[in-house]
Amino acid sequence: MSESAVKWPSGRGRFVTFEGGEGTGKSTQIKKLADRLKAARMRILVTREPGGSPGAEIMRHLVLSGMGKLLGPEAETLLFAAARDDHVRTLIQPALNQGTWVLCDRFADSTRAYQGSLGRVPAALINAMQRVTIGDLKPDLTIILDLPVEIGLQRAAARRGSGTPDRFEAEKLGFHQGLREAYRKIAADDPARCVLIDANSDPDTVAGRVWTALRDRLLPTPASVVSV
């Protein structure tokens, strides 16, 4: 089904999040999906976490510099929560209310995977923070890109060149393996929202898988397709 054959849903926008470990291709795939949706004349907002709004970008600088790690996992979780609160309130929710589709590079699942599973921050604290920051807002679809960690880290290193790894890129191999497992569990625990996508192929092939997931989950059934 091509974009031109789709009768796009109207009303509130749809919220699509991309998740996965280092170098799995989230930014690459968001750009490809955004281009495809824009070609279909959809109103699209591409954003990211941590960051996305001016206040949250300040928090991004703080956490990726390693400052949050010095404060400990619980405090670092609060920094991500503060950034998310600003991002949801000032950017994501208003856009969805206006009918814009929001594509977000990382969201609340990143806190569950990085701070929860890997940082051992208790689920009770993460749940409490989530209630405050996002309330009832839940992604309509979460694409989880899955890739052997060695390949993801190679891709991230190649992109970085001679630059310094950030606070999370600098973690050891075992951390990244644990991260992959955490994301696979998130996908298995919430199959109605999450789709685990094999990201170990060329970018266009992965983009095809992402499109299929979006079409199957968020677009109208074939009965409402407009023929062209």
CA angle, corner 187, sides to 174 and 205, nearest 5?
Answer: 90
Bond preceding residue 50 cis, omega within 30 of 0: yes
Is the Cβ of residue 122 or residue 203 nearer to ligand Z5A in the bound state? 203
Distance CA 87, CA 93 (A): 9
Is the Cβ of residue 14 or residue 106 nearer to ligand Z5A in the bound state? 106
Q: Give least dist CB 221 to ligand Z5A, A.
A: 30
Residue type, 22: E
Q: Give least dist CB 160 to ligand Z5A, A.
A: 8
**Footprint (CB under 6 A) of ligand Z5A, residues 50-79:** 50
Residue 25 is a binding residue for ligand Z5A (CB under 6 A)? yes
Residues 78-117 as x/- pattern, contact with ligand Z5A by CB under 6 A: --x------------------------xx---xx--xx--
Residue 20, classed as helix, strand or coil, is: strand
Torsion angle defined by CA atoms of residues 171, 173, 174 and 177, in that order, rounded to the nearest 10 degrees: 110
Stretch that binds ligand Z5A, among 22-30, 86-94, 125-133, 184-192 (CB under 6 A): 22-30
Residues 201-220 as x/- pattern, contact with ligand Z5A by CB under 6 A: -xx--x--------------
Which of 13, 15, 16, 22 is close enough to bind ligand Z5A by CB under 6 A? 22
Stretch that binds ligand Z5A, among 33-41, 45-53, 87-95, 136-144 (CB under 6 A): 45-53
Is the Cβ of residue 158 or residue 192 nearer to ligand Z5A in the bound state? 158
Report phi then psi at 146, rounded to 5.
Answer: -115, 130
Distance CA 35, CA 131 (A): 33
Q: Give least dist CB 34 to ligand Z5A, A.
A: 13
Contact predicate 211/36, CB 8 Å: yes
DSSP letter string over 75-123?
A: HHHHHHHHHHHHHIIIIIHHHHHTT-EEEEES-HHHIIIIIIIIT---H
- Give contact residues for ligand Z5A (rule: CB under 6 A): 20, 22-28, 48-50, 80, 105-106, 110-111, 114-115, 155-156, 158-159, 166, 168-169, 202-203, 206
